[in-house]
Amino acid sequence: MATQERMEQLVALCKRRGFVFQSSEIYGGLKSCWDYGPLGVELKRNVKEAWWRSMVRRRSDIVGIDCSILMHPKVWETSGHVAGFNDPMVDCKLCKARFRADTIENQNCPKKPSLRPGQCEGELTAPRQFNLMFKTHMGPIDDASAVVYLRPETAQGIFVNFKNVVDTSRVKPPFGIAQQGKSFRNEIVTENFIFRSREFEQMEMEFFVPPTDGMKWYEYWRDERYRWFTDLGIQPENLRLREHASDELAHYSAACSDVEYQFPFGWKELEGIANRTDFDLKRHSEATGKDLAWFDATTRERYIPHVVEPALGVDRACLAFLCEAFTEDEIEGEKRTVLRFHPSLAPIKAGIFPLVKKDGLADLAESIETELKREFAVFYDESGAIGRRYRRQDECGTPFGITIDYQSKDDGTVTMRHRDSCRQERLPIAQLRNWLRDQLLGA
């Protein structure tokens, strides 16, 4: 399938099945903002849960935090965002459209889409810097003293709480602080569905280490983050690590790699892993006069920890998992669309289908639904031919289908149908909860 067509079909499926809707759609839509529907919100929660499990719950060296979106404006001066979080922008003097000057070769003239901006009759202005932070005012007075920013990354909330966490938790380097939450960037160009938007969610972890161990931990986290995606079903041929060249690195960064995914629109950054050195803690310490050094009581050393940061966008991760899962195949001569999500990411874990409504089969199916709902997202469906019910759940990415038939009444077993292989097996009703739990283990 051509890449453009594949993307269009995925976007259509996301709308049809309630994964992602355009924001404010009945008002004509708000460009670059997206709403997650009933299945999308489950997928997103599962992606965030999988990250939190692997980064916080299963480790003893990382703790979590949840900071406010609005922070003291001086935070963003110190971090360098007020002065430097800019993209170069150009305008078309003819149609007034705006473009990012540094990626012009990937953009199209809105009036003549076969041409690049500036290749039509319209002349482009000279590039000028555009700050990507959204500004608002705190309190009733709308002047410069009340300006606050919507955070453009979650990382700074972690840095400014470094001392709070050290003082209140029994952590010592090497240790990490993880956070998930909304970030906002007034991107000049938004693109490719939920890939780049102006309001999005991030999952970031700052790992504080002794200065001499920065590169060791950088390599560790680069490999660990790559593995997280493959554990959750991304095929290695669609995933690669790209080490930044020295001229690409931010001035404070000692090393940086992107985990890139092969989206239908090309290889693009999914996650960044950076060795940020002691830049952030040092700057915040200088700006506030607060001592953010760590004192190691064993070695009697005092140092500002270096920081390794894996930073991932939730929406971008959801898009990668959707792209990876989106498959069309043929079973018994019939074409089907299937989302082959890893079971732990699937919005619904099992469909529950009484073969017929009568003879007590629906009652038995409902009692199975009640039992499984205590632990899992399941979906009960008694309408239509069984094949059609399977097909509907295939399109939602539901990995298992439980069919209750006449034999179920006799021997207390059901048919378990596997989404990807369509294989069927009989399982005792009494074992369903444990069986499903086993399938969701691992990632």
User: What does the alpha-carbon distance between residue 320 and residue 258 come to, in Å, rounded to a whole number?
Assistant: 14
Q: Which one, 244 or 392, has the nearer CB to ligand GAP? A: 244
Q: DSSP for 261-293?
A: EEETTEEEEEEEEEEEETHHHHHHHHHH-----
Task: Give me the least distance between CB of 434 and ligand GAP, in Å please.
Answer: 36
Task: Give me the least distance between CB of 280 and ligand GAP, in Å please.
Answer: 9
Task: Give me the least distance between CB of 32 and ligand GAP, in Å please.
Answer: 8
Q: Which one, 269 or 371, has the nearer CB to ligand GAP? A: 269
Q: Which one, 200 or 341, has the nearer CB to ligand GAP? A: 200
CB 392 within 8 A of CB 417: no
Task: Give me the least distance between CB of 132 and ligand GAP, in Å please.
Answer: 9
Beta strands in 314-399 (DSSP E): 326-331, 334-339, 350-354, 378-380
Task: Give me the least distance between CB of 379 and ligand GAP, in Å please.
Answer: 29
Q: Which one, 100 or 196, has the nearer CB to ligand GAP? A: 196
Task: Give me the least distance between CB of 210 and ligand GAP, in Å please.
Answer: 22
Q: Which of 114, 110, 130 is nearest to 122 (CA)?
A: 110
Task: Give me the least distance between CB of 259 and ligand GAP, in Å please.
Answer: 8
Q: Which one, 239 or 364, has the nearer CB to ligand GAP? A: 239
Q: Which of 245, 249, 152 is nearest to 204 (CA)?
A: 152
CB 347 within 8 A of CB 39: yes
Q: Which one, 219 or 269, has the nearer CB to ligand GAP? A: 269
Task: Give me the least distance between CB of 413 and ligand GAP, in Å please.
Answer: 45
Task: Give me the least distance between CB of 269 and ligand GAP, in Å please.
Answer: 5
Strand, coil or helix: what is 1? Answer: coil
Structure tokens at 229: 């995606």
Q: Which one, 175 or 193, has the nearer CB to ligand GAP? A: 193
Q: Which of 237, 241, 236 is nearest to 271 (CA)?
A: 241
Residue 326: which residues within 8 A CB-CB, separation 6 or more? 6, 9, 10, 13, 337, 339
Beta strands in 66-174 (DSSP E): 86-91, 98-100, 128-131, 135-137, 147-149
- What does the binding site for ligand GAP look like in residue numbers (CB under 6 A)? 153, 155, 185, 187, 196-197, 200, 202, 204, 269-272, 309, 311-313, 315-316
DSSP state of 401: E
CB 304 within 8 A of CB 208: no
User: What does the alpha-carbon distance between residue 270 and residue 264 come to, in Å, rounded to a whole number?
Assistant: 13
In Å, what is the CA distance from 21 to each residue of 40, 47, 347? Answer: 9, 18, 16
Q: Which one, 91 or 309, has the nearer CB to ligand GAP? A: 309
Task: Give me the least distance between CB of 166 and ligand GAP, in Å please.
Answer: 20
Q: Which of 428, 388, 393 is nearest to 411 (CA)?
A: 428
Q: Which long-range contacts (CB under 8 A, 24 or more apart) does 1-5 make?
A: 1/328, 3/264, 3/265, 4/264
Q: Which one, 185 or 417, has the nearer CB to ligand GAP? A: 185
Q: Which one, 180 or 393, has the nearer CB to ligand GAP? A: 180
